[in-house]
Amino acid sequence: MQKKFSNNRAMAVLFLALINLMAVAFVFSQNRIPDSLNLVLKNAQHDTSRIKALMELGNYFQSSEPDSSIYFHTQARLLAEKISDKTNPNAKDDLRIAEALRRTGWDHYVLGNNKKALSLYDEALEKLEKHLQNETGQTSVQKTYTTKIRTVKAAILGSVGSVYYSEGNYANALQYYFKGLKVKEELGTKNGTAWFLSSIGNVYANLQDYSKATDYYFKALKMDEDLGDSPAIVADLAHIGSVYGQQNEYSLALNYYFKALKIAEESGNKNHLATLFGNIGTIYDLQKNYPGALDYYLKSLKMEQELGYKQKIAGSLGNLGSLYTKTGKFAEAEKELKNALTLSTEINALNLISTHQLSLSQLYDTTQRPGLAFIYYKKYIASRDSINSEQNQKKLVRAEMNYEFDKKEAITKAENDKQVALAEEESKNQKIIIWFAVFGFGLVVVVLFVVTRSLRVTRKQKRIIEVQKDEVQRQKTIVEEQKTVVEEKQKEILDSIYYARRIQRALIANEKYIERKLNYLRKKN
């Protein structure tokens, strides 16, 4: 029984350190200088600049001093609310407020205040949703803000999923991860999409569905490598290493962990370093390299206590308690395991609670206290069954099915929209063709009318011309007839004249003859 407890416990703790790796995408760079931010805050002339500086200051302290982070992010929210239009809040104002609420929610999540975190996330989502109700007819500026709103909405959905994941409520976690993934896919941006793929992989890994987990992890890794996102690559490598460790492939697991550790050490990211120290310690624990495991567990715990991450601290305390049980340090084991269980209960981390109950049962079984061993084993079974209940399994399946359905529906809708667009385009073309046909027909009718009218006019003119021609011909005939008559008359006249002239000439000739004869006779006489 002890060996079984040990193996189960080791397998379970393997993923405890993964919880906060998901925070990577939601925590900004630690390399900013707070003095410069304070200077910006003091010299800021506009409230919007002050809000931005307060946000950045909160981000700077998020990993090292979460309480300070809460203060600065809360101040940013209060200032954003102060300058917003209370009567008619616009998208720009609500976006600033929602972003401040989101970051404050993450601060509370880091400190284990899950209920407060969820409350702030709900408030932030409510601020954003009202601006996503009607997106038709938006201006280019409005569309820009809609994209920003969707981006922040996706981040909030991811944060809500992380809260449920930390509590072992995998059905709700998966539901929110798929919702966030859908928003990211609709936006068409790779940045952040890989985080959701990795987070979904975490859920399946904890449910021991290693095939799906590995599939999602490698998809995330490929996308993050394309983006050159070093912090995300560290998380992906750690996740893949955990899956191999869960399947007893310890060499492969360590190979991926040390690859991730090298990148994390170069960047100095304490979140990653703490997680990887814990993961490496777990593998050494499973390999029975207890000195090595203790060394890495203590490194991890020290860094987590510096960061103030209650979930990680609870996980590392549990790791130490389990290790102390194996090495015969039973008093230290009981102390650390009870502290771990108390802290896990405080933050309502059901998965951690279940793990620590199993470890306590193992401890009491080892130290010959069967009554306590049985009590904690029963508690472990109850917690485990709560996590893996049939209802939760159905929710898990339904969450993935809903995502797949929504995805297929989106594809179908896109295809339908494409078909509708093609049909509309075809209809538009048909209308254009019809209008051209109508116009062409009308033009033909007009041309035919003009041609017909022209032909009628031409025929009419032709008839008139023919009539005129006939009239001219008739007049010509008349003229010719008259000419003939005139010519005949003229001929008659001329003939008469010629005849008269001949007579006249004849008379004249006789007169001359007579005159000559008379003259002759006169001379003769």
| CATH number reported for the structural domain that contains residue 97 in this entry | 1.25.40.10
d(CA 234, CA 224): 10
Identify the weakest region by mean pLDDT among 151-165, 291-305, 383-397: 383-397
Q: Is residue 35 part of a domain?
A: yes
pLDDT digits (tens, 9 = 90+) for 360-414: 999 999 999 999 999 999 999 998 887 776 455 555 555 655 555 455 555 545 5
d(CA 281, CA 294): 7
**Helices 270-286 + 2-13 axis angle, to 10:** 160
For residue 15, what are the contacts with CB-CB under 8 A and spacing of at least 6? Answer: 202, 205, 206, 242, 246, 351
Identify the weakest region by mean pLDDT among 6-10, 36-40, 133-137, 309-313: 6-10
For residue 338, what are the contacts with CB-CB under 8 A and spacing of at least 6? Answer: 360
Q: Is residue 379 part of a domain?
A: no
* Nearest alpha-carbon partner for 158 in 207, 188, 202: 202
Q: What is the mean pLDDT of residues 114-132?
A: 91
Q: What is the mean pLDDT of residues 39-58?
A: 78
Q: Is residue 317 part of a domain?
A: no
For residue 238, what are the contacts with CB-CB under 8 A and spacing of at least 6? Answer: 17, 18, 21, 256, 257, 260, 272, 275, 276, 279
More confident: 5 or 128? 128
Whether the pLDDT of residue 115 is over 80: the answer is yes
Amino acid at 45: Q
d(CA 154, CA 159): 9
pLDDT digits (tens, 9 = 90+) for 481-505: 777 776 777 777 777 777 777 766 6
Tokens found for residue 194 = 């890989």
Query: How many distinct structural domains can be found in the chain?
Result: 1
* Nearest alpha-carbon partner for 29 in 80, 63, 65, 77: 63
Kindly state the DSSP code that residue 17 receives in the 8-state scheme: G
Q: What is the mean pLDDT of residues 36-44?
A: 63
Tokens found for residue 1 = 């029984």
DSSP output for 252-302: HHHHHHHHHHHHHHHHT-HHHHHHHHHHHHHHHHHTT-HHHHHHHHHHHHH
Q: Is residue 20 part of a domain?
A: no
Q: Is residue 509 part of a domain?
A: no
Q: Please give the pLDDT value at position 10.
A: 46
Q: What is the mean pLDDT of residues 166-178?
A: 91
DSSP output for 125-168: HHHHHTTSS--TT--HHHHHHHHHHHHHHHHHHHHHHHHHHHTT
Tokens found for residue 496 = 């008469």
d(CA 57, CA 72): 6
Q: Is residue 181 part of a domain?
A: yes
Q: Please give the pLDDT value at position 20.
A: 45
Q: Is residue 248 part of a domain?
A: no
More confident: 168 or 335? 335
Distances (CA, A) of 208 to 8, 164, 478: 12, 18, 126
Q: What is the mean pLDDT of residues 28-40?
A: 53
Q: What percent of the chain has pLDDT over 70?
A: 79
For residue 446, what are the contacts with CB-CB under 8 A and spacing of at least 6? Answer: none
pLDDT digits (tens, 9 = 90+) for 207-240: 889 999 999 999 999 999 999 999 999 999 999 9
pLDDT digits (tens, 9 = 90+) for 405-432: 455 555 545 565 565 566 566 667 777 7
**Taking a C-beta distance cutoff of 8 angstroms, is the pair 363, 334 a contact?**
yes
Q: Please give the pLDDT value at position 219.
A: 95
Tokens found for residue 199 = 């987070």
* Nearest alpha-carbon partner for 62 in 53, 51, 73: 73
Instruction: Give me the domain span that covers residue 113.
Output: 28-61+65-129+141-189
The mean pLDDT of the chain is: 81
Q: Which of 299-303, 388-392, 465-469 has the highest mean pLDDT?
A: 299-303
Whether the pLDDT of residue 26 is over 60: the answer is no
Whether the pLDDT of residue 149 is over 50: the answer is yes
- pLDDT band for 513, please (50, 70, 90 cuts): low
d(CA 92, CA 275): 37
More confident: 68 or 427? 68
- pLDDT band for 191, please (50, 70, 90 cuts): confident
Q: Please give the pLDDT value at position 512.
A: 66
More confident: 174 or 83? 174
Q: Is residue 170 part of a domain?
A: yes
Q: Report the half-sphere exposure of 346 (CA within 13 A, side-chain side).
A: 16
- pLDDT band for 19, please (50, 70, 90 cuts): very low
Q: Please give the pLDDT value at position 14.
A: 47
Q: What is the mean pLDDT of residues 181-201?
A: 91
- pLDDT band for 267, please (50, 70, 90 cuts): confident
* Nearest alpha-carbon partner for 341 in 362, 358, 324: 358
